[in-house]
Amino acid sequence: MRRIAVMTSGGDAPGMNAAIRAVVRTATARDIEVYGIRRGYTGLLAGDFERLSNREVSGILQRGGTILQTARNDEFKTPRGQKRGLRRLNEHGIDGMVVIGGDGSLNGALSLHKSEFPVVGIPGSIDNDIWGTNMSIGVDTALNTILDAIDKLRDTASSHERAFLIEAMGRNCGYLALMSGILGGAEIVSTPERPVELEEIAQALDDAYTRGKSHAIAVIAEGAQHKIQEVSSYLEKHPCGFEVRLTILGHVQRGGSPSAFDRLLATRMGVVAVEELVSGNSGVMVGLDGRQMSTVPLEEVVVKQRNISESYYKMAEVLSR
């Protein structure tokens, strides 16, 4: 390996910059040149490459977002787009690439591997929906952002004796909603994986009121069966004792300076990704397995479903009483 590329793709996540920095500095220490590809697969197709030396990645460790920017690109999903991408990599003399992103982005990485182009993936997504790693880059920071919001909303909820419906991100995965529900002391959590009926949500809030609580919180995942507005409308017609307010946290969850956990995770993953490329391992994603770094075939990552342990649902239920 003489020259490698690194890109961020799909939804951004806090810690992506820390991973880019680790990739660049690990490669540089081995006399390997690094090129950053701007805007994910869109930049790849457009030939938007820039040389990254150690200096270009100075001062980014603590920054949210991604200095390489990110994008979604439909053309790259087609064999024609992938061929064009490969051509661009060859034109720039790139010998291997690190792709930092979510499920979709890792699928794109797999397509390059299948064309015999060396590629290693790093899981970056706040949703924690990627199979093959205990945690993805950005999850911990997003969780901390949500908890900060829940704590603040609880202050005002308690002062006014109100119930708050809080929407957490997660189109297909309820990890953020469930964990923030447990750690933020919610009365009930609704996730895409575990549908909760409107009556159950109303009942949980009503129970809290009856038990004499000064506030109540329901965390609703973005992809839950009943959307937050629907829950709110239902509660207007079926009062639960508390006056109800609704807060959609939205993209604030994707920004911010990465937590210590995310900086460490991203840094370790960046280092290992380069080491794997150098040792000739391609078509794998770097993962966190217990306390160790591991590698898992991208073939598995893109087909297997990461499930939330049943014990967390139980925990949420028991601890909300």
Residues with Cβ within 8 Å of 299's Cβ and at least 6 positions away in sequence, in order, are 110, 283
Specify the residue, 26 or 66, whose C-beta has the smaller distance to ligand ADP.
66
Q: Do 220 and 166 contact (CB within 8 A), yes or no? A: yes
Considering only residues 46 through 105, tell me which ones interact with ligand ADP, judged by CB under 6 A. Answer: 72-73, 76-77, 101-105
Pick one of 125, 136, 180, 190: the residue that binds ligand F6P (CB under 6 A).
125
- Here the tokens at position 253 are 């969850």
DSSP for 132-164? Answer: T-S--BTHHHHHHHHHHHHHHHHHHHHHHTEEE
Sign of CA dihedral 191, 165, 177, 129: positive
Question: 165 by DSSP, 3-state: which?
Answer: strand
Pick one of 34, 126, 130, 137: the residue that binds ligand F6P (CB under 6 A).
126
- The answer to whether residue 127 is catalytic is yes
Q: Do 228 and 246 contact (CB within 8 A), yes or no? A: yes
Sign of CA dihedral 75, 81, 84, 90: positive
Q: How many whole angstroms from its chain centre is CA 162?
A: 31
Type of residue at 281: N
* Phi and psi, residue 48, nearest 5°: -90, 80
Length of the chain: 321
The site partner of 70 among ligand ADP, ligand F6P, none (C-beta below 5 to 8 Å per kind) is: none
In the complex, minimum distance from the CB of residue 255 to ligand ADP, in angstroms, rounded to a whole number: 15
Considering only residues 199 through 238, tell me which ones interact with ligand F6P, judged by CB under 6 A. Answer: 222
Task: Tell me which residue of 148, 149, 123 sits closest to 137, measured CA to CA.
Answer: 123
Q: Do 248 and 194 contact (CB within 8 A), yes or no? A: no
Question: 50 by DSSP, 3-state: which?
Answer: strand
- Here the tokens at position 305 are 């479903």
The site partner of 76 among ligand F6P, ligand ADP, none (C-beta below 5 to 8 Å per kind) is: ligand ADP
Q: Contact between 10 and ligand ADP (CB under 6 A)?
A: yes
Q: Contact between 11 and ligand F6P (CB under 6 A)?
A: yes
Considering only residues 279 through 318, tell me which ones interact with ligand F6P, judged by CB under 6 A. Answer: none
Q: What is the x/- site pattern for ligand ADP, positions 107-146, by CB under 6 A?
A: xx--x-------------x---------------------
Pick one of 34, 122, 139, 169: the residue that binds ligand F6P (CB under 6 A).
169
Specify the residue, 271 or 301, whose C-beta has the smaller distance to ligand ADP.
301
The catalytic position among 12, 103, 127, 262 is 127
Enclosing H/E stretch for 81 = helix 79-91
The per-type count for the chain, helices as H runs and strands as E runs, is 11, 11
Considering only residues 236 through 255, tell me which ones interact with ligand F6P, judged by CB under 6 A. Answer: 254
Q: Contact between 184 and ligand ADP (CB under 6 A)?
A: no
Q: Contact between 180 and ligand ADP (CB under 6 A)?
A: no
Pick one of 33, 103, 127, 262: the residue that binds ligand F6P (CB under 6 A).
127
The site partner of 191 among ligand ADP, ligand F6P, none (C-beta below 5 to 8 Å per kind) is: none
In the complex, minimum distance from the CB of residue 73 to ligand F6P, in angstroms, rounded to a whole number: 13
Binding residues for ligand ADP, how many (CB under 6 A)? 17
Enclosing H/E stretch for 106 = helix 103-114
Specify the residue, 125 or 128, whose C-beta has the smaller distance to ligand ADP.
125
Site of interaction with ligand F6P (CB under 6 A): 11, 125-127, 169-171, 222, 254
Site of interaction with ligand ADP (CB under 6 A): 9-11, 41, 72-73, 76-77, 101-105, 107-108, 111, 125
Active site residues: 127
